[in-house]
Structure 1
Amino acid sequence: MTTSIIERPAAPEAPAPPSRSGSRFQRWLASWRVSLKMARRDALRYKGRSVLVLIMVALPVGLIVAGLTFASTSTRSTAEKLPWLLGNGQAIILGISPDVVEQGVDGNNSWSTSDGTEHPPTAKRIPGLTDDGTLAQRTKALGAIVPGTLVPVQTGEFRWTDLTRRPYGTVMFIDPSVDLGPKLHLVSGRWPASNDEIVVTPAGLHNGLPGDGTLELNAGETRRQITIVGIADVFDTDMGMPYAMTTAAWDERNVYSTSWIVKRSTPMSWAEVRKLNGYGLAITSADVVAHPPPASEMPGQGYDAQRQMDTETKVMAAIFGAVLFLVTALLVGPAFAVSAGRQRRSLALAASNGAEVRQLRRSVLAGALILGVLAAVAGAALGAASVAAGAAVWRGIRPWSTLVGPFDIPMIAVIIVLICAVLAALTAAMIPALRLGRLDIVGVMKGQNVSPPHNRILPFVGLALFALGAAGLFLAVTANATAPGVAGVFGLVGGAICVIPLGLVWAGRLAGRFPVAVRMATRDAARQRHRSAPTVAALMAGAALLATFAIALESNSRFEAKHYQPQTVAGEGTLWSAESEYPTLIKQITTLAPTWRVVEERAVQGDYTGNTAPTSEPFVVVVPPGCSTAQALPQLDDGSAPPPEQPAADPCRTVTSIGYLPGATRYGVTVVPAAEIARRLQLPKADAAAVAGGAVLVGDEALIKGGTVTLAMGSATNDPKSGTQSDPKVTTTKQVPAIAISESAYQRAAVESRTGLVIPTEVAGDINLQTAPSSLHVYDTRGAITKADQKKVAEQLANSGVNVERGYERPDKWLMLGVLGITGFLLVTVTLISTALALAEQQADMGTLAAVGATKGTRRRFAAAQAATVALLGGLLGIAIGLVAGVAIAWPTTTTWWDDLGPHKVAPTIGIPVLPILIIVLGVPLIAATIAAASIRRAPHVTRRGN
């Protein structure tokens, strides 16, 4: 038997490795091209996840771009104001000052040259210009130094009769025969030929003025019948639309602003503006606005103020950009973490077949690039479009409104936002991409995916970063430094992120005493930190935003409330009007509100009801014990220059009704009926009887000696033209019984804070002290004046309104609600999407729990506990960031208080709002838990693992 041996054929040679043709750049580009194609296919395959990623990126971008666009649209630049401000004129004279004026490009931004330590230089005299001259005389005098035709523009107010109401309205006085272009536009009818006729604007129609017929109105002390001859669009110098327009003022005493439009063929240069500033004129020139002067030609104070504003703007822009970048990166973090989790198996297969780590990372980053660019552009477009639509609707409904101007998108700011959003998306994707260098291929293929043990050094690094970030943020807002601000934001957020892994581990350990579902959920979140940490970070970002804004606004409101100075007793009112109108007002009030009582408060002053001012001015001063009458006389404002430095308070100059007392705080004099003094100050019976018997009240008990105070009375020479007094002469000195005013009376505003002497009206008559009405006080015998009664009386009074003291009313209430609404919406949306993404990756785990017998209730409790755990941890870390950032913002803004005596350094006011904190700590975890529990399916897949 023959045996044949057959040789095994040799194995074919291994193919040669592919040649690395092309340059390094071409290979890099080809790699990215492949990654982008794969990312596009993956985004289309998982449409639901892609939509959630788009929302998480587009939402903050859209809100920010909408806010920037609205701010730019609602804030008119000086160039955008010109058509309303001066029409087709070359310039407008906005005001006349007795001192030399310094101004910026816009004449509205003008000031005296005084810096507070020396008397400002007196402006050059304008020949023929006098304070008591008529409008025609003043226009002629200005025309002598300002070439061109001057068109006067005046604004005032009036009241008209509308059945039982007498509403207020604003009116502009201008000659409509002069062509002013867009400033005056006739809609229907004709222009008025005299001030017996008016045209009504859309704003007037909206507020109740009729469009035709006749109207009875009051302007100052003038009452007349006018005829409505048309409807027109008219714009005043305050960038608003008055209710009506006519040719000339009905009563000069009712005009509160006068300006002159300069019409000529040649523009007004910056050199001419500065020359006219020397005459005390503040001017806005169209040519200067179009061609602003260089900074070297700006006045010193204007340049310094602009530089300070630019510095503060740069600091806030840098901090804002850093916050935008970090918040967007954290918000989209869960999306890309889940995306990387879904790709783990395919990436592991690619790695097992020889794919390099950098190729794997590019595949993850490509998805972020595609979705990030698309979401950022879509969010910016939707944000800008929403503002454009809202502005168009608002402008159509209220064409007179100054809330919105020409639609304007701040392109530079929007581009910066888009770049930050894309970079944030790439940064968020970079975190899971970096982990691919430690990809456990075998573990992933077997379905095992547990986070490695947490780094024990990382939390200490985080605490150090957090502390350094807090210091940097405080330094930035106190020293206007940009770099520390940006570093502070990154330090705060980066430090908090470093603490997240330890927080999840601690949560797992602390859950040992909880029910089994809660215990399993928290421990699973601790083990799967690659999935739960990004969700915590996203919720932390939203919570930090809400906490920061809420703390900053609450601190500012408490600061304002702490230093709020009431004007009168709470629930009572005050009226001011011309002295001749007081009898009519008192009669009207008692008729309209029978339960109200009206009390006349008087001041020590001369009779100014005539056509000319008096030549003498009465006065009364308090002579402190140990001081002579001459030493107690005040320093009068006689027009001379004050000393270079304000002298210290003079102990002999304490209370006066004339002149000024350097350093004194309670120096004024008021005259009130004795019964009203007792009621308002809530005096004890003995003090009330003393006041009824002729006692006065003083603010400083040191002025009283032996139960009496010394009053010196006399008169000073009064210059009717300038209104200055000089040469005070004492005619009578009298000692009268006195009582000290309690501090509580000042705090309740029963006595005005600057009042140092309260004289009963009866005593003023006994000592022959000349007085005149200064205001009317009203109160309701039933209690505090209601808003309904206040409105009813104010609408029917002849020429005055009622100001009722209702305590501090928060001016930023709507801003606070808006911030809470926007950030709350953002926070809830982040919670919804983050929870949904986390649950999407937990489907295999839920299937495993169902396979081993877990009921639907157990699985729901498991999901709810895990969502609540990450939401609570994110909320607590967000509050920690918000506390530091909010306090850093509030600290410098609540340490300086301004009053009549200037700035005062005070202790900072820090307010912690309860409602937003509760929303973060309780509301968000409850929402997340509810959503997670409701998302559990009745019949999960139990026959397969993974995707």
Structure 2
Amino acid sequence: MSAFRAALRISRRDALRFKGRTALIMVMIGLPVLVITAVLTGAATTSITGRDKLDSTLGAADARIATSPSRTPVEQNSDGEITNMRPSDRPGRPWTPAEIGALLQGRLLRYQANVVEARLADGYTRTDVFEVDLRDPLTRGMRRLVEGRFATAPGEVAVSPALIDSGVRMGDTIKTWRPDRTVRVVGIAEHPNRPGLREMLALPEGLLPHQNDGNDSGWLIDTAAPVQRPDVRRLNKVGLSVKSRFLIERSDAGDSGPRDLHGLVELGVAVVLIVTETVLLAGPAFAVGLRRRRRELAVIAAQGGSGRHLKTIVLADGLVLGGVAALLGAALGIGAGLVAEWFAARWLDWTHGPADVPWAQVLGVAALGVVSALTAAIVPAIQASRQSPVHVLAGRAAVDTPGRAGRPVLGAVLVLLGLVALGFALHRGMLSVVLASTLVVFGLVALMPWLVQATGRLAGRLPLPLRLSVRDASRHRVRTASATAAVMAATMAAVALGIGVNSTYVSRDERRGSTVPAGTTVIRAYKTDDQKWARVRALVQQKLPGASLINGLEVTDAQGDPVTLRFAWPEDCKRRCNPPDYVFHSVAAADEGVLAFLQKRRDPQAAAALAAGKAVAFEPRIVRDGMVTLQTEAWGETSAKTFRVPAVAAAAAEPGQGGVVIPPSALASAGLKVQQRALYAAYTDVDDQRLTTELTAAIGDQASVFVERGTAEDRFVTLLILLAAALVLVLGGTFAATGLAAADMRQDLDTLSAVGGTARVRRLVVAAQAAYISGLGALVGLVAGTVSGIALTWPLTRGGYRTMELFNPGATTIAVPWLFLAGVVVGLPLLAALTAGLFTRTRLVLARRVA
């Protein structure tokens, strides 16, 4: 124990002496702990239970009774949520307080809630309404009054801070639609569990009409005794659901974590990969300490210290630095998680509960950080115990012993097993693919020292800076292999996820089935006269500034009622051609102008067919014998009518488009009419829900807005996040190993300068070292990541509904994001080399001073 305490003191002193290296190691170990702890803390605080919501749901009441539109029996869970309701042909009569009092004695307080469209400065906004007398002591805790007062009369409301952020002020009036009312703001009150909720608080029926239609309405009740399960069952039999404080307080068991085998395997894989990546990143940094302490350790060995003592000293570095980094990471992660969750709850309307730190999980993550640090220090500790004190004290450079590099046979076997496992994992789900890829990762980690040694033999043909860098990296292959393996693992993960995610988005685009291309907004109005349609067009032009509007057609029956058109799949390909996610089956009535908009080009053959009264199908499989089958369904009708029209197949603007474009002349023969009641625009910067509300309120009739955004924007953001994560890991591992290499090569660089080498040559040598480490890791990661990414496309793009024969790529979508791969495999190594070269010291340091 005395030797261990001495080792801890030596490690603490060394950590304080070399603050830069200490900070580097602590960041490598503490950053994953911080991120994971922040996620766990934020998720625990956001995930609120029924007990956490008691104040906002019940206030000080003993129960909350909710009515339903009929008086048929209901079934509910312990939190009061209805799980089953017996259907009824007609609504029941409204409940009265006297009837409720006969079933459950206590003081009743009426409440009701719904959603309205509130007219704010920037247009209509969907806003929650909660009506209850918040001055009553029974509502204590339901809302926190921030400013002003609660409503005291009909037409008064208190608003949430989120509405204040939207431009509402104390004393303002707010117009609502459905119901059409005007209310005055008299206060500001916050929901304790949803601080970002847009909400207005009023007296019962102060804004909403009386409700008994299945929306949230009923009574809060203060009873003399707790509301027990028999009371709840009695109320359920007559169609009332009950949230009982007594039952909710005793029903929450808390989150016990994953119990199923699948969840445990996922957790185990995540832990193994996190520890592996942390060890690979922090390993070179611990090796930096070993190189700089060689002389100190040699002196200890010369004075009688054994190899075991030297191992203890280096492992103590891992314990001290890992322990401090894990504790700091956990503490900062808890704070970061709570702060991030508060902002997310306020600005993104996430649920918000009391600060909740899952201590067991957080302590487990911190222990994981310490284990990672100790694991990363194992190889340097073994090297320290084997170094020659004579060579070190004589000033000779330390290099790895020649001979076998790593365990190439074991690595090759693991890679081969991983590839075989990938083949069998294709049709067994994403977790199986990840497990098989993990075998490949470990195999490549074991192969990396051999790859470093093999590439070192090519150094003789390279220019001088590259030759020096590659030979030095090969001589110190343990240090180089660790950093290169870290880069490889990060690159492999980024490439695999990039291919999988990109293929998923492309597959989703290909299966959209909409007639319009991505980036299109479609506005429609129904049963509207010409004057109202002119108002619609003017309002749309105002809300979509700069957009070019294309006039479209809507189909009606002889009475002017809207008609929905769909195409029918041929009988011989219904199951093969009609996947579950192909939901639109769209048919658009259009002229030549709309056809050109949908195809994004002029297609003479398609335009000629349309002019001749033929339909143009963007889905060739629905055309049989030059005909396509269409179905019509008018409002109020329960069955669809079928008719056939001549059709030709044509290419759409994008692979994801489908459906049929039909001319008015073909509809006339089926007894249908068309009206100019649709607009098409190549525009997506629009809130479709808000615009729909504004159009409907403006014309008093029904309008709809459909925006086909596609997945390009989401795809770009996702790949950018993956690139940023790869950037951190690749540069972190590269710079740690490059810093160590520069320290080891200082004598060589000084000799190079002494014989006439310029500062530019020194920079090139260090930059070449960074390029070699990151480039080799990126190339190996590219190959392995491509194989794993293609394997991921099987479970990600098949959707589980098609036959999944082994090695049958026809049912999958494989879309390689070439620009993203170039950024990861070429851009990041170039950035690492450029950064390392720019920040290299070029000043010559004399080893001895000559008198």
Range of TM-score over shorter length = 0.7 to 0.9
**Residue of 464, 471, 474 corresponding to 2:413:** 464
Local SS of the residue matching 1:402: coil
Matched, 1:417 2:362: no
Structure 1 segment 330-369 matched on structure 2, within 5 A: 330-369=280-319
**Residue of 740, 743, 746 corresponding to 1:843:** 746
Deviates more, 1:373-382 or 1:820-829: 820-829
Matched, 1:591 2:538: yes
Relative distance call for 1:708 and 1:67 in structure 2 (3 A) is closer
2:618·2:659 contact (CA, 8 Å) conserved in 1?
A: no
Return the offset for 1:365: 0.7
CA distance in 2, matches of 1:269, 1:559: 52
Matched, 1:430 2:389: no
Relative distance call for 1:547 and 1:687 in structure 2 (3 A) is closer
Deviates more, 1:43-52 or 1:568-577: 568-577
2:586·2:658 contact (CA, 8 Å) conserved in 1?
A: no
Matched, 1:858 2:778: no
Matched, 1:80 2:33: no
Aligned residue in 1 for 2:265: 315
CA distance in 1, matches of 2:440, 2:707: 46
Local SS of the residue matching 1:896: coil
Relative distance call for 1:308 and 1:777 in structure 2 (3 A) is farther
Return the offset for 1:505: 1.7
**Residue of 679, 686, 695 corresponding to 1:778:** 679
Return the offset for 1:197: 3.7
**Residue of 738, 742, 745 corresponding to 2:645:** 738
Local SS of the residue matching 2:251: coil
Return the offset for 1:416: 1.7
Q: Residue type matched to 1:319 in 2?
A: V
Relative distance call for 1:336 and 1:838 in structure 2 (3 A) is same
2:77·2:83 contact (CA, 8 Å) conserved in 1?
A: no
CA distance in 2, matches of 1:698, 1:503: 52
Q: Which structure 1 residue ranges, 5 or more long, are not aligned?
A: 1-28, 113-122, 296-302, 610-617, 625-647, 655-660, 900-904
Q: Residue type matched to 2:123 in 1?
A: R
Aligned residue in 1 for 2:545: none
Q: Residue type matched to 2:188 in 1?
A: I
Local SS of the residue matching 1:240: coil
Local SS of the residue matching 1:407: coil
Q: Residue type matched to 2:190 in 1?
A: D
Superposed CA offset, 1:755-804 (max 9, x none): 9999966456xx5x8x999x952135xxx347479899768534356333
1:101·1:282 contact (CA, 8 Å) conserved in 2?
A: yes
Aligned residue in 2 for 1:46: 18
Q: Residue type matched to 1:168 in 2?
A: T
CA distance in 1, matches of 2:73, 2:141: 32
CA distance in 1, matches of 2:531, 2:650: 35
Matched, 1:941 2:839: no
Local SS of the residue matching 1:80: coil
Return the offset for 1:377: 1.0
Return the offset for 1:381: 1.6
CA distance in 1, matches of 2:309, 2:668: 96
**Residue of 802, 805, 808 corresponding to 2:705:** 802
1:329·1:421 contact (CA, 8 Å) conserved in 2?
A: no
Local SS of the residue matching 2:813: coil
2:527·2:561 contact (CA, 8 Å) conserved in 1?
A: no
Aligned residue in 2 for 1:553: 501
Matched, 1:258 2:189: no
Q: Residue type matched to 2:680 in 1?
A: Y
Relative distance call for 1:787 and 1:147 in structure 2 (3 A) is same
Matched, 1:32 2:4: yes
Structure 1 segment 62-211 matched on structure 2, within 5 A: 62-89=34-61, 90-91=63-64, 93=66, 123-124=85-86, 131-132=90-91, 136-137=94-95, 149=108, 151-160=110-119, 162=121, 166-176=123-133, 179-192=138-151, 196-211=155-170
Structure 1 segment 898-909 matched on structure 2, within 5 A: 907-909=811-813
Deviates more, 1:505-514 or 1:794-803: 794-803
Return the offset for 1:851: 4.0
Relative distance call for 1:785 and 1:144 in structure 2 (3 A) is farther
1:160·1:166 contact (CA, 8 Å) conserved in 2?
A: yes
Aligned residue in 2 for 1:516: 464
CA distance in 2, matches of 1:592, 1:558: 34
Return the offset for 1:455: 1.9
Return the offset for 1:157: 2.3
CA distance in 2, matches of 1:537, 1:707: 60
Aligned-pair identity (%)? 28
CA distance in 2, matches of 1:270, 1:845: 82
CA distance in 2, matches of 1:476, 1:710: 42
1:573·1:779 contact (CA, 8 Å) conserved in 2?
A: yes
Relative distance call for 1:689 and 1:96 in structure 2 (3 A) is same
Aligned residue in 1 for 2:700: none
Return the offset for 1:153: 2.8
Return the offset for 1:422: 0.8
Q: Which structure 2 residue ranges, 5 or more long, are not aligned?
A: 542-547, 698-702, 803-808
Structure whose alpha-carbon radius of gyration is higher: 1
Aligned residue in 2 for 1:893: 796
Superposed CA offset, 1:273-302 (max 9, x none): 68877888777655454333899xxxxxxx
Structure 1 segment 393-404 matched on structure 2, within 5 A: 398=346, 401-402=349-350
2:408·2:447 contact (CA, 8 Å) conserved in 1?
A: yes
Structure 1 segment 181-330 matched on structure 2, within 5 A: 181-192=140-151, 196-219=155-178, 223-234=180-191, 240-242=197-199, 245=202, 247-248=204-205, 250=208, 257-260=215-218, 263-265=221-223, 267=226, 286-292=245-251, 310-330=260-280
Superposed CA offset, 1:726-766 (max 9, x none): 9x9x9xxx9x883236475798898758x9999966456xx
Return the offset for 1:671: 9.3
Return the offset for 1:536: 2.1
1:139·1:150 contact (CA, 8 Å) conserved in 2?
A: no
Matched, 1:920 2:824: yes
CA distance in 1, matches of 2:531, 2:195: 32
1:698·1:756 contact (CA, 8 Å) conserved in 2?
A: no
Return the offset for 1:204: 1.8
Aligned residue in 1 for 2:487: 539
Relative distance call for 1:281 and 1:546 in structure 2 (3 A) is farther
CA distance in 2, matches of 1:876, 1:423: 30
Deviates more, 1:424-433 or 1:90-99: 90-99
CA distance in 2, matches of 1:811, 1:98: 46
Structure 1 segment 432-451 matched on structure 2, within 5 A: 432-436=380-384, 438-446=386-394, 447-451=396-400
CA distance in 2, matches of 1:778, 1:561: 23
Matched, 1:384 2:363: no
Local SS of the residue matching 2:457: helix
Aligned residue in 1 for 2:778: 875
Local SS of the residue matching 1:183: coil
**Residue of 601, 624, 629 corresponding to 2:554:** 601
Aligned residue in 2 for 1:631: none
1:650·1:663 contact (CA, 8 Å) conserved in 2?
A: no
Return the offset for 1:160: 2.2
CA distance in 2, matches of 1:169, 1:202: 15
Relative distance call for 1:406 and 1:914 in structure 2 (3 A) is farther
CA distance in 1, matches of 2:279, 2:29: 9
CA distance in 1, matches of 2:627, 2:781: 62
2:406·2:448 contact (CA, 8 Å) conserved in 1?
A: no
Superposed CA offset, 1:585-609 (max 9, x none): 5231233357746656346699999
CA distance in 1, matches of 2:376, 2:41: 27
CA distance in 1, matches of 2:730, 2:631: 66
CA distance in 1, matches of 2:507, 2:617: 31
1:391·1:407 contact (CA, 8 Å) conserved in 2?
A: no
Q: Residue type matched to 2:310 in 1?
A: L
Return the offset for 1:458: 1.9
Q: Residue type matched to 2:645 in 1?
A: A
Deviates more, 1:92-101 or 1:913-922: 92-101
